[in-house]
Amino acid sequence: GDSVTQMEGPVTLSEEAFLTINCTYTATGYPSLFWYVQYPGEGLQLLLKATKADDKGSNKGFEATYRKETTSFHLEKGSVQVSDSAVYFCAPGRGSQGNLIFGKGTKLSVKP
Amino acid sequence: DVKVTQSSRYLVKRTGEKVFLECVQDMDHENMFWYRQDPGLGLRLIYFSYDVKMKEKGDIPEGYSVSREKKERFSLILESASTNQTSMYLCASRRQGATYYEQYFGPGTRLTVT
């Protein structure tokens, strides 16, 4: 069945470091792909998305490219800030309704 | 500003009690979802609803039921709460149509069953 594998955390970085969180998935067809972020004490919110192969989603300095050949959607940011400390979830859609499958989440802590 | 609200942020119930978790959205969305979030497991879908009075089982429906009598409200019911249902419960809504529409989440209800 459909599944998603996300880099396990926790990840601890210093401010201004480069961030990569790996995400690969198995799915039927070419689903839309999403990254959600959960800040402490809050619900999830959409960070970025890509709807077809080679699309690049971007928001708040984060980027992820839809790689059909490797079925991957890795999240990157060139220079992280303390305010980026949160849990990040990779979530491909599945089926005709596009309901989401969530990865287990990667907790990021950024130290000043 | 779009909003999904959940009736309680924290809830403590006893084993065997019937528990109602309420979710309300103000965006006129057709689709609504209930997830539970557990450390190391991510989010898992319990039930979803495509429209009023419609419901579909998700990946882990056992021990839960749902009700959707009005478009804006989606209730999750634990018929007889058990300690293994201690978890964070998240509600979400989404506009019907394209599969790239995003889901909007509520702040969550942390339920403890003792």
CA B50, B56, B59, B65 torsion: positive or negative? positive
Interface test with A, best of B6, B27, B105, B109 (most A CBs within 10 A): B105
Kindly report the nearest CA distance between residue A20 and chain B, in angstroms: 19
- pLDDT per residue as tens digits for the range B21-59: 999 999 999 999 999 999 889 999 999 999 999 999 999
Query: pLDDT value at position B35?
Result: 97
Which amino acid is residue B16, in one-letter code? G
| pLDDT at site B101 | 85
Query: Which residues make Cβ contacts (< 8 Å) with residue B54, sequence separation at least 6?
Result: B68
Residue B97 corresponds to which tokens in the numbers above? 């149509």
Answer whether A98 sits within 8 Å of B100, measured CB to CB. yes
Q: Does the bond joining A10 to the residue before it have cis omega, within 30 degrees of 0?
A: yes
**Residue A89 is nearest to which of B42, B58, B100, comparing CB atoms?**
B42
Residue closest to A6 by CA, chosen among A78, A92, A85, A95: A92
Distance CA B43, CA A15 (A): 28
Please write the tens of the pLDDT for every residue from A68-82: 999 999 999 999 999
Strand partners, B35: B45, B90
- Note whether B114 and B15 are within 8 A (CB): yes
